Chain A
Amino acid sequence: MQVPILKQGLFLIATIQSALSDADLLQLRDAIVEQVGKRRSRGVIIDVTALDVMDSFATRTLRDISQMIRLRGAETVIVGIQPEVALALVQLGLNLADVDTALDLEEGLAFLGQKIKSFDHKAPNAGREMGTRER
Chain B
Amino acid sequence: MSDEHQRSRRKLDSAEPSSEKTAKIVKESRIPIQSDLDIVEARQQGRTMASQLGFTSSELTLVATAISELARNIVAYASRGEIALKLVNHSEKKGIVVIASDEGPGIRDVSLALQDGYSTSRSLGMGLPGVRRLMDEFEIETTLGQGTKVTVKKWTNG
Contacts and interface: CB of A to CB of B under 8 A. Distances in A.
A87 B127 contact: no
A53 B63 CA distance: 10
Contact of B120 (A19, A21, A88, A95): A95
B62 A56 contact: no
Given A21-B39, A52-B47, A55-B68, A91 B61 contact: no
A22 interface: yes
Contacts of A91: 62, 130, 133-134
A92 interface: yes
A9 interface: no
A8 to B, nearest CB: 29
Interface in B29-72: 36-37, 39-40, 43-44, 47, 57-58, 60-62, 64-65, 68-69, 72
B17 interface: no
Interface in B94-133: 116, 120, 125, 127, 129-131, 133
Interface residues of A, number: 22
Contacts of B129: 93
A21 B40 contact: yes
A56 B69 contact: yes
Nearest to A95: B120
Given A56-B125, A56-B127, A94-B130, A88 B61 contact: yes
A28 to B, nearest CB: 13
A57 B123 CA distance: 11
Contacts of B39: 21-22
A83 interface: yes
B72 A55 contact: yes
A21 B36 contact: yes
Contacts of B68: 53, 55
Given A19-B44, A92-B131, A93-B129, 6 more contacts: A21-B40, A22-B39, A53-B43, A53-B65, A55-B69, A91-B62
Pairs A-B, 7 closest by C-beta atoms: A92-B130, A22-B36, A84-B61, A55-B68, A88-B65, A84-B58, A93-B120
Interface of B: 36-37, 39-40, 43-44, 47, 57-58, 60-62, 64-65, 68-69, 72, 116, 120, 125, 127, 129-131, 133-134
Interface of A: 19-23, 52-57, 82-85, 87-88, 91-95
